[in-house]
């Protein structure tokens, strides 16, 4: 069985960060979002992975993920020339998949329980498809599934009156018959080929489509605030690990990770916190729920519930619920701020 990870699209709702970095490569809990998907795929026993990317960011993925060796997988990069929908992205992977069954994972989605259960159900029952579902409070925002007799019988996209509370989330398993469906369905009102329409095509043509209801949380990163929610959820699973330097004037409380080459000087860290490789935290109070990127610096500042990307620098002031881009600079003078600050930016906060 192979896996196809969908990482196309422009990520316009996550600007300013996606002006310079693909959405799926944005960091949460110190790692790119898509890295968690790749680890979940490996844990499900799949090692042959195709990543569908937009041509403008293919180089970014190659630079950050390489050939997949450090994830214990083999990565093949597949270019989707134009953003014509998820089903179109899957169709772009037909040459990679061949005649094999395959898992489809949306690269901007995080599933607490991973995808092992989806793969096991597919392998044991042999349907045409398995769809991952989760019960939600407001199904009107999602594609909603209707189940009868243990099979999925109907899909409704963002219904005003939902027939169930089962939302479709970001993982599927398919046989290659889905490629026929993708060629035969018509573009939606958005001008895109939709996976939900392909699933309905399979159902209408008599192919068995099974539901898999996930336990635990599910989170996508479609907006900047979603990055912070994902960061909190992933940081909640870390344990104390100190491989960098922490001086005698510093205190670590709760789960804190200090990566190799990082230095903590005269500071208080309240976990969960991750301090990336080569980062410096000096004379500061950091945490909870903070991820400090590689070679970032926090000096004389308070930072809480935030993501500081690689080489970001925060000097003075207080940041809460903020995302600071790569090589961005924040200077503060006895002031508090909430910021979405893109790469290479600079801002001063003052009372």
Query: Among candidates 108, 306, 228, 106, which has minimal Cα distance to 118?
Result: 106
Listing DSSP states for 51-89 in one string gives: EEE-GGGHHHHHHHHTTSGGGTSEEEEEE-SS---HHHH
Inform me whether the pLDDT recorded for 158 exceeds 80.
no
Q: Work out the average pLDDT over 184-210.
A: 88
Q: What percent of the chain has pLDDT over 70?
A: 100
Decide if pLDDT at 191 tops 80.
Answer: no
- Residue 4 CB-half CA count within 13 A: 29
How many angstroms separate the CA atoms of 143 and 136, rounded? 11
- Look at 144-158, 195-209, 321-335 and tell me which has the smallest mean pLDDT: 144-158
Q: What does the pLDDT read at residue 76? A: 96
- What pLDDT is stored for residue 192 in this prediction? 78
Contact 202, 181 (CB under 8 A): yes
Cβ proximity of 228 and 323 under 8 Å: yes
Q: What percent of the chain has pLDDT over 90?
A: 70
pLDDT at 116: 94
Angle between the N-to-C axes of helices 177-184 and 195-204, in degrees from 0 to 180, rounded to the nearest 10: 110
| Structural contact between residues 234 and 252, judged by C-beta atoms closer than 8 angstroms | no
Domains of the chain (ranges, CATH numbers): 2-223 (3.90.550.10), 238-349 (2.160.10.10)
Closest of 59, 61, 40 to residue 170, by C-alpha: 40
Query: What average pLDDT is seen over the chain?
Result: 91
- Convert the pLDDT of each residue in 300-324 to its tens digit: 999 999 999 999 999 999 999 999 9
Averaged pLDDT for residues 119-138: 92
Say if CB 42 and CB 71 are below 8 A apart: yes
pLDDT of residue 18: 81
Contacts of 351 (CB under 8 A, 6+ apart): 333, 334, 335
In contact, 223 and 145? CB cutoff 8 Å: no
Q: Is 137 exposed, middle or buried (0-12, 13-18, 19+ CB in 10 A)?
A: exposed
Report the candidate in 312, 307, 343, 336 with the shortest Cα–Cα distance to residue 322.
307
d(CA 236, CA 224): 19
Question: Which pLDDT score, from 0 to 100, does residue 41 have?
Answer: 96
């Amino acid at each position: 069985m192979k896996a196809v990870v969908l990482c196309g699209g422009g990520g316009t709702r996550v600007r300013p960060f996606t002006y310079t970095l693909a959405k799926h490569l944005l960091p949460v809990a110190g790692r790119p979002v898509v890295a968690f998907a790749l680890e979940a795929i490996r844990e499900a026993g799949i090692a042959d992975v195709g990543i569908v990317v937009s041509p403008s960011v293919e180089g970014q993925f190659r630079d950050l993920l390489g050939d997949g060796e450090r994830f214990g997988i083999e990565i093949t990069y597949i270019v989707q020339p134009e953003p014509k929908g998820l089903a179109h992205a899957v169709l772009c992977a037909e040459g990679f998949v061949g005649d094999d069954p395959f898992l489809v994972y949306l690269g901007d989605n995080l599933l607490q329980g991973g995808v092992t259960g989806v793969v096991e159900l597919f392998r044991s029952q042999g349907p045409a498809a398995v769809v991952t579902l989760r019960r939600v409070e407001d199904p009107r925002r999602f594609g909603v599934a209707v189940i009868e007799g243990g099979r999925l019988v109907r899909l409704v996209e963002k219904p005003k009156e939902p027939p169930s509370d089962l939302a479709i989330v970001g993982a599927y398993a398919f046989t290659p018959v889905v490629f026929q469906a993708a060629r035969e369905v018509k573009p939606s009102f958005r001008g895109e080929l939709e996976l939900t329409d392909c699933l309905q095509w399979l159902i209408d043509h008599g192919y068995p489509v099974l539901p898999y209801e996930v336990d635990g949380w599910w989170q996508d990163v479609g907006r900047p605030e979603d990055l912070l929610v994902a960061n909190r959820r992933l940081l909640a699973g870390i344990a104390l690990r100190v491989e960098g330097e922490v001086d005698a004037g510093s205190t670590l409380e709760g789960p804190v990770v200090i990566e190799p080459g990082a230095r903590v000087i005269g500071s208080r860290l309240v976990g969960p916190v991750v301090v990336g490789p080569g980062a410096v935290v000096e004379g500061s109070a950091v945490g909870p729920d903070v991820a400090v990127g590689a070679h970032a610096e926090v000096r004389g500042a308070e930072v809480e519930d935030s993501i500081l990307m690689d080489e970001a620098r925060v000097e003075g002031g207080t940041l809460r619920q903020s995302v600071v881009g790569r090589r961005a600079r924040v200077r503060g003078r006895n002031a508090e701020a909430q910021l979405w600050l893109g790469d290479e930016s600079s801002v001063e906060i003052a009372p």
